[in-house]
């Protein structure tokens, strides 16, 4: 018998025991098959046009019209009976609309919440269902839709008789939509709402490119199968995926081999682990989840802290900085938080020029601006991680440095390996600096011992840390340094650039220390107050 096809789920995991009917559309002959342990279908079928119907308990059944030609095996994809969703676009402005794209094996309630100091209920959207059975189950394409998007709400939606759009609220911020089913399943997904016009003096940038780079929905991210899906679905990740089977880093493949990553996918890594939206966690609770600590749930802590301290802010996606719809010149302060790793050259250029003209940049994250990406048509992002003309011994500090310019030239610091996956407090170096006013700290004192970061607990300097490098500006004020092992502590710095200024914490875990550690909070407040006082905008 010949290998004619594979079947896998949304994670590109092989599905065994999928029942399939291959009906020849020319002569009506039928073959009934079942997938093997590696998700393969074997049969001796003549080339031709077939209607293939696939079904497996726990997954959405579907049929597909396709050609079998005896060449490369055909790929089929099924979607598990989970609850998933995303807004499209994932970022918008107040008064504009985004489309709800959600998947559920049963009817579901959808509510909207604003995530600031408190989770504010913003409204009931609806209960979603149809008259037919399982009509809230989506159908995915069969190809590598991590590159092209999942294409939801396009199969079996001939009219707009079901509510599918939401108008963005008047107040800018991070919003979450919560889906909840009668059986108790839940899923939450973020929506970035920028103001229709600038309203505050502070702009906060969501690390939405990083969210996409880490999103492996569809079987790929910039860390798993970055060069495209393998020819065969995964049976066991530790045995099959090159990330685990070779010592070769994903960063060593040429830029041309990195395939696009579509924004048009659900983001399970941004789901907040609450029992329900109604009685879920508080902003002062520790951040649950491996990826959540570095994505939107972690960034929420900054937004809530700003509101607790009485600072108004406008919220934007990185794509809005890239395309110019974030009007930088209207703001006195721009804040980056947690893990803004993936930036375009246009973003870098805009912010660097803005700082030189008098802007104040607060970098409250770690391993930032490290990897260059391009934002392309059809809502895809391409990561540029390697320049195959570069000498690895050239002294370049990062992937952004290899392909464009060192991030240390803008941020003052850049990521280095020492200290990775550790967390610790900072030790004060320059206690006379104004950033420490009101803290009571003296040279040699520790601060930042507490953190909400569950993945790498231990302090405000952590997870991934940035330091002064050869590319940093000449006149840097080194204020404190993390006490991480192997001299891996983040370096807290301040410097002026043109008529502007930059403050950098250089740590992914800094924001997660804002609520539990009073001195981290006071240092951050001192910087923001001083930057706002100095701003002419």
CA 154 to CA 137: how far, in whole Å? 12
Residue 398's pLDDT is 67
Residue 353's pLDDT is 97
Reported as a single tens digit per residue, the pLDDT across 493-524 is: 999 998 999 999 999 999 999 999 999 999 99
CA of residue 129 relative to chain centroid, distance:
29
Contact 216, 223 (CB under 8 A): yes
Question: What contacts 255, CB < 8 A, 6 or more positions away?
Answer: 384, 385, 386, 387, 388, 403
Distance linking the first and last C-alpha atoms of the chain: 72
Tokens 């004619």 belong to: 4
What pTM does this model have? 0.95
Residue 31's pLDDT is 97
Query: For the chain, which residues score pLDDT lower than 70?
Result: 158-163, 247-251, 385-398, 537
Reported as a single tens digit per residue, the pLDDT across 364-384 is: 999 999 999 999 988 999 988
Contact 450, 517 (CB under 8 A): yes
**How many helical (H) and strand (E) elements, i.e. helices and strands, does the chain have?**
10, 32
Q: What angle do CA 369, 338, 482 make, to 5 degrees?
A: 95
- Structural domains of the chain, ranges and CATH numbers in brackets: 2-77 (2.60.40.10), 82-222+258-331 (2.60.40.10), 332-340+356-367+406-537 (3.40.50)
Residue 448's pLDDT is 98
């Amino acid at each position: 018998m010949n290998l004619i096809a594979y079947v896998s789920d949304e994670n590109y995991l092989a599905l065994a025991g999928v029942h399939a009917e291959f009906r020849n559309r020319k002569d009506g002959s039928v073959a009934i098959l079942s997938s093997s342990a590696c998700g393969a279908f074997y049969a001796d079928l003549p080339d031709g046009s077939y209607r293939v119907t696939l079904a497996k308990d726990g997954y959405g059944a579907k049929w597909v019209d396709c050609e079998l030609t005896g060449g490369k095996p055909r790929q089929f994809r099924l979607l598990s009976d989970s609850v998933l969703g995303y807004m499209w676009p994932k970022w918008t402005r107040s008064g504009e609309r985004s489309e709800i794209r959600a998947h559920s094996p049963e009817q579901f309630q959808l509510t909207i919440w604003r995530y600031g100091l408190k989770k504010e209920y913003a409204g009931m959207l609806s209960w979603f269902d149809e008259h037919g059975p399982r009509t809230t189950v989506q159908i995915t394409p069969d190809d590598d839709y991590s590159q092209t998007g999942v294409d939801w709400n396009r199969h079996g939606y001939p009219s707009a008789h079901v509510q599918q759009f939401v108008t963005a609220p008047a107040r800018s911020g991070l919003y979450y939509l919560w889906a909840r089913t009668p059986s108790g399943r839940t899923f939450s997904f973020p929506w970035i709402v920028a103001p229709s016009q600038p309203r505050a003096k502070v702009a906060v940038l969501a690390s939405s490119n990083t969210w996409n780079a880490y999103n492996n929905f569809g079987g790929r991210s910039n860390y798993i199968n970055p060069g495209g899906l393998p020819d065969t679905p995964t049976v066991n990740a530790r045995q099959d995926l090159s990330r685990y089977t070779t010592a070769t880093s994903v960063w060593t493949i040429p830029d041309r081999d990195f395939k696009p990553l579509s924004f048009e996918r659900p983001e399970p890594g941004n789901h907040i682990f609450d029992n329900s939206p109604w009685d879920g966690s508080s902003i002062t609770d520790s951040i649950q989840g491996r990826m959540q600590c570095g994505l939107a749930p972690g960034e929420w802590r900054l937004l809530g802290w700003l509101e607790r301290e009485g600072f108004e802010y406008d919220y934007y996606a990185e794509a809005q900085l890239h395309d110019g719809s974030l009007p930088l010149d209207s703001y006195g302060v721009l804040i980056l938080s947690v893990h803004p790793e993936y930036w375009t050259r246009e973003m870098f250029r805009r912010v660097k020029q803005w700082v030189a003209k008098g802007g104040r940049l607060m970098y409250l994250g770690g391993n930032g601006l490290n990897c260059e990406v391009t934002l392309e048509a059809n809502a895809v992002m391409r990561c540029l991680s390697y320049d195959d003309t570069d000498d690895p011994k050239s002294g370049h500090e990062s992937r952004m440095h290899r392909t464009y310019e060192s991030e240390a030239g803008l941020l003052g610091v850049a990521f280095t390996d020492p200290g990775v996956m550790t967390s610790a407090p900072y030790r004060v170096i320059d206690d006379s600096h104004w950033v420490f006013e009101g803290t009571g700290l003296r040279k040699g004192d520790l601060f930042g011992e507490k953190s909400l970061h569950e993945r790498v607990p231990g302090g405000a300097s952590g997870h991934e840390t940035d330091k002064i490098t050869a590319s940093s500006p000449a006149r840097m004020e080194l204020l404190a340094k993390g006490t991480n092992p192997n001299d891996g502590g983040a370096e807290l710095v301040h410097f002026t650039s043109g008529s502007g200024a930059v403050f950098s914490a250089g740590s992914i875990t800094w924001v997660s220390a804002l609520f539990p550690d009073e001195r981290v909070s006071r240092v951050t407040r001192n910087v923001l107050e001083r930057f706002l006082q100095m701003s002419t905008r």
